[in-house]
Amino acid sequence: RKEVEQDPGPFNVPEGATVAFNCTYSNSASQSFFWYRQDCRKEPKLLMSVYSSGNEDGRFTAQLNRASQYISLLIRDSKLSDSATYLCAVRRGSARQLTFGSGTQLTVLP
């Protein structure tokens, strides 16, 4: 089993829709969680960190469920510009390195 797993999609949604992605992690010692966005043929860019209490940034909401060992990303009122691959990343305890999921591809349709 992979340490970090994501549904690869693709998710095709109409503009204005709400879409949610989940990312499960297998190591209960994981301490830090992040969502990255990657556009086609570009580098990953940090979208948001995920805090224990959940956090929101505009149309984006990230949540952490430690009991079930997953993080989620909710995108409200989808825009065409949200089309990208969304990667989750997890850091175990005091480890320096991040472990990434394979990414979920989102296409927002006009």
Partner 1 sequence: NAGVTQTPKFQVLKTGQSMTLQCAQDMNHNSMYWYRQDPGMGLRLIYYSASEGTTDKGEVPNGYNVSRLNKREFSLRLESAAPSQTSVYFCASDTTGYEQYFGPGTRLTVT
* Site for partner 1 contains 97 (CB under 8 A): yes
CA angle 100, 47, 21 (to 5 degrees): 65
d(C-alpha 55, C-alpha 92), whole Å:
20
* Site for partner 1 contains 92 (CB under 8 A): no
In the shown chain, the binding pattern of residues 8 to 47 toward partner 1, with x for contact by CB under 8 A and - for none, equals x-----------------------x-x-------xxxxx-
Cis peptide upstream of residue 10 (ω within 30 degrees of 0): yes
Number of residues that bind partner 1 (CB under 8 A): 20
| Tokens linked to 85 | 């691959």
Q: Which residues bind partner 1 (CB under 8 A)?
A: 8, 32, 34, 42-46, 49, 87, 89, 91, 96-103
